[in-house]
Amino acid sequence: MIKMIVKFFDKLEDKVRRKLSHYPIIYAFIGGIGVVLFWRGVWHTADDINIASVSSLIIGSIILLMTGIFVSAFVGNRLIISGLIGEKKLTEKEQSEIETEEIQIKNLQNTLVRLEKKLDHMETHLEPPPEENKID
């Protein structure tokens, strides 16, 4: 029974996402409403069962820490990764560092363009593959 319900909502989600992905502003608006209504429900449920503010903070923190969402939700993966690789914040970088990064990015883009041209050139000069199982 549960598998059927999960399968139904999985298929429904795929259909809805497929349609809404063509309209990103409407998609974001509907998603925002869903998020607000969800958290409103959580908030009112906590009020209805008389969970105190401190208890909410403790229980919520424990749930977030146990699921691994705490750090990623409040700090973000990009900040964690940039800290691990020792990357400075954009505001801490000097102008010369930013210019150097821009030059490196442009060089990488130029390299990619050259590789694409070489691949295209190679494709045009390759002989077509022999036809297999040709019926005469």
Residues 63 and 83 in one domain: yes
Q: Are residues 82 and 64 in the same domain?
A: yes
Indicate if 6 and 42 belong to the same structural domain: yes
Q: How far apart are CA 79 and CA 72, in angstroms?
A: 9
Q: Which domain holds residue 77?
A: 59-87
Give yes or no: residues 76 and 39 share one domain: no
Pair (42, 82) in one structural domain: no
How far is 48 from 89, CA to CA, in rounded Å?
44
pLDDT digits (tens, 9 = 90+) for 58-93: 888 888 878 777 776 666 666 666 666 666 666 666
Q: What pTM was estimated for this model as a whole?
A: 0.46
**Cβ partners under 8 Å of residue 44, min gap 6:** none
pLDDT-based confidence at 128, cuts 50/70/90?
low
Q: What total of structural domains would you count in the chain?
A: 3
Q: What are the structure tokens assigned to 6, written together?
A: 């999960």
Does residue 76 come out as left (phi exceeding 0), alpha (psi in the -120 to 50 range) or beta?
left
Same domain for 15 and 44, yes or no, is: yes
Q: Is residue 83 part of a domain?
A: yes
Domain contains 77: yes
Residue 133 forms part of a structural domain: no
Mark whether 22 and 65 lie in a shared domain: no
H helix runs in 49-94, sequence order: 53-67, 69-74, 77-84
Q: Are 31 and 73 part of one and the same domain?
A: no
What's the rounded Cα separation, in Å, for the pair 111 and 23?
Answer: 35
- Angstrom distance (rounded) from CA 98 to CA 127: 46
- Give the Cα-Cα-Cα angle 106, 115, 111 (nearest 5 degrees): 20
- Residue 115: is its pLDDT beyond 60? yes
> Do 79 and 100 sit in the same domain of this protein?
no
Do 9 and 33 fall into the same domain? yes
